[in-house]
Structure 1
Amino acid sequence: MSTIEEYDCIVIGAGVQGSFTACQLAKQSRKTLLLEQFVLPHTRGSSHGQTRIIRKAYMQDFYTHMMEECYELWAQLEREAGIKLFRQTGLLVMGPENSESYQLIKNTLQKNKVPMAILNHDNFCQHIPNVNLAVGNGAVVDLTAGVLYADRALKTVQGQFQKLGGVIRDKEKVIDIKPGPVVTVSTSAGVYRANRVVITAGPWANRLLAHTGLQLPLEVVKINVCYWKEKVPGSYDVKKRFPCFLLTEGEETKDHIYGLPSNEYPGLMKICYHMGSETDPDQRDKQTDRSDIDILKRFIARCFPGLVPEPAVVESCLYTLTPDDHFVLDCHPSYSNIVIGAGFS
């Protein structure tokens, strides 16, 4: 009979949330196990891909305040690992001047004294080439924002975790969780016990929480991650300091559209619609809705004249959403030694 391995903490889900949590626990000299159902690295969840936007431009103050610590932690990881994980590009925020979401972001930046630039129709073109600012729209730039190298960051923090003595077991799907003063976690390959368990399983969170008698109001949606070809290579290049951007709302949409300068695919700019269609995380390929791509094509034809308004590459990513779009980070209501992090999209 195989022995049951014992740990101080078990973290389930090795995406960005779980991997960083595990690393912080290992820094506190906790004997920590990080479990992942897929072979690492993988593209099945929400943390894959080469780039993500990092910003202080939010509608709510508390996110802007949280980002102060986030920037420090990213810089700390870069120093510890000796690897570049962040490139400052700025974030261009556009939206109807009189709309609530645009004004909230602008006000939050001003109130918190975040370095920023306010653009108008007269000076917009000289600062932001190859973009058309819609009539009635305002524009501000969060100068502190930029691009995080997501895949590189994930690999780096997992490496740091292992250097600190942490154990990663991938291709181990959790099949049961038995709560108690000591939590027992059974996987496809073994049984483990720990004083504390952290569940950061993204789209699979509710499947794991079912073992603990809890379900959260989480919705899993599939996002089409689209890359658009530059008509003239280099027009929207990260090396030429072209910024990330966020459209709060526009002619085509009431939801955000966001984009990052060309980087992972040379000559292709990443522009996506910040909403998708509900899906089963294990059956994502059956979700073939492309209505978001039609919205993006109209937006790009109007606002980005230097891009071909037909996606050159379409990949997919899963979002996990809560009803109010704010994440859940809390202890289980019945078992205080089980911590839940979910809904980070």
Structure 2
Amino acid sequence: MMSGEFDCIVIGAGVQGSFTAYELAKRKKKTLLLEQFVLPHTRGSSHGQTRIIRKAYDHDFYSRMMQECYQLWAQLEREAGVRLYRQTGLVVMGPENGRSYQLYKKTLQNNKVPMVVLTRENFNQHIPGVVLAEGDAAVVDVTAGVLYADRALKTVQDQFQKLGGVIRDKEKVTAIQPGPVVTVSTSAGVYRAKSVVIAAGPWTNKLLVHTGLQLPLETVKINVCYWKEKVPGSYDVKQRFPCFLQTESEEVHHIYGLPSNEYPGMMKICYHMGSKADPDQRDQQTNTSDIDILRRFVRRSLPGLLPEPAVVESCMYTLTPDDHFVLDRHPTYQNIIIGAGFSGHGFKFGPIIGLILCELSLGEVPSFDLSPFRIGRFQPKPKSAL
């Protein structure tokens, strides 16, 4: 059995946990990063070769966080000498008078993000191979692009270890005993630390049960679909074909796409929702209704792709009722910090979330206003007196 004393233990070596551990190690804190699976793995939410990075959002606070996040990604690139990002731009499309589309456009303007508003007349000149739906408008977040996700995750873990951090994979947490010093038991050892950060994605509530807390988190399995180009190179990242986000179609949730990269000649296009699934039983969830939605979209909007997915992979989302993150201290145990509910849009925030969770674990004032992310927002509000 292994054992050890640490300043901080981080549970979960996905992107958020890995950046938290890295920030702690930069501050010369003795840090242990625990992962239940052998690294690298594809069971959570941080695997896969690519993610979209963008400042285009429907809430100002996300756009503001991303301003600094871009700088932190660039800093990691310089430190490691590894390229983690390719600028392609992001085309946001949606009904011109639709609420969601207008919010995206307004947030870009509010935060002075370099942007281009496209008209129906010049859309195809700038974005060939995409049919803008009748009544839709489009705006480009020029700063957006593709993050190389697997490479980014490995890079931050390597940097953490270079700073003296300890990673132990294939160690499932079996118990958490709160106290002034927190005791964490795993399948291979017992560790103690002044603080613990739980960044375990879809397994968050399974760990929080040890602390007497359950959050309103829903775990869903997403089908990650790749669509073959009819003419290879038509939608290629090397040709600077942009990422896209289709808001408010006839469907409830967004559709997003990335230029062909991980599979040559195939574009990644997904529906931003899936079907409820236990992360330990995910392979039993075989619902493909989202793929039917995507087939219709590809047929209508991307004539250069075959309207049948060539490859289907999967990913887990952890959703909160309002789709905003949880970044907070445990309401009972102030030295247990929780980062959760990244709702399928958290990867790009990895560096800033790691910084915030690090600050919380050290008792520092966080770099950003965390009111949208507090656990207290889920508590029932007292009824006013009649």
TM-score (structure 1 length as normaliser):
0.99
Q: Distance in 2 between matches of 1:177 and 1:187?
A: 9
Aligned counterpart, 1:271: 269
What CA deviation, in whole Å up to 9, does each residue of 1:206-256 have, x standing for no partner? 0000000000000000000000000000000000010000001213x1210
Which amino acid in the other structure matches residue 325 of structure 2? F
Q: Secondary structure at the match of 2:279?
A: coil
Q: Distance in 1 between matches of 2:84 and 2:233?
A: 22
Structure 2 unmatched runs, 5+: 344-386
Q: Distance in 1 between matches of 2:216 and 2:110?
A: 33
Which amino acid in the other structure matches residue 165 of structure 2? G
Aligned counterpart, 1:214: 213
Q: Secondary structure at the match of 1:48?
A: coil
Which amino acid in the other structure matches residue 133 of structure 1? L
Q: Secondary structure at the match of 1:329?
A: strand
Which amino acid in the other structure matches residue 294 of structure 2? L
Aligned counterpart, 2:13: 14
Q: Distance in 2 between matches of 1:244 and 1:139?
A: 13
* Offset, 1:3: 6.8
Q: Secondary structure at the match of 2:233?
A: coil
Q: Distance in 2 between matches of 1:300 and 1:213?
A: 46
Aligned counterpart, 2:227: 228
Q: Distance in 2 between matches of 1:3 and 1:155?
A: 24
Aligned counterpart, 1:27: 26
Please, what is the CA RMSD of the aligned residues?
0.6
Q: Distance in 2 between matches of 1:237 and 1:4?
A: 49
* Offset, 1:49: 0.1
Does the alignment pair 1:192 with 2:226? no
Aligned counterpart, 1:88: 87
Which amino acid in the other structure matches residue 303 of structure 1? S
* Offset, 1:96: 0.4
Aligned counterpart, 1:296: 294
Aligned counterpart, 2:58: 59
What CA deviation, in whole Å up to 9, does each residue of 1:126-148 have, x standing for no partner? 00001000110010000000000
Aligned counterpart, 2:341: 343
Which amino acid in the other structure matches residue 73 of structure 1? L
| 1:251-266 matches, cutoff 5 A | 251=250, 253-266=251-264
Q: Distance in 1 between matches of 2:34 and 2:112?
A: 41
Aligned counterpart, 2:379: none
Which amino acid in the other structure matches residue 244 of structure 1? C
Which amino acid in the other structure matches residue 130 of structure 1? G
Aligned counterpart, 1:322: 320
Does the alignment pair 1:144 with 2:143? yes
* Offset, 1:113: 1.1
Structure 1 unmatched runs, 5+: none
TM-score (structure 2 length as normaliser):
0.88
Aligned counterpart, 2:116: 117
Count of aligned residue pairs for this structure pair: 343
* Offset, 1:110: 1.0
Instruction: Give percent identity, aligned residues only.
Output: 79
Q: Is the CA contact (8 Å cut-off) linking 2:221 and 2:314 kept in structure 1? A: yes
Shift of the 177–98 alpha-carbon distance from structure 1 to 2, 3 Å rule, reads same
Q: Is the CA contact (8 Å cut-off) linking 2:224 and 2:268 kept in structure 1? A: yes
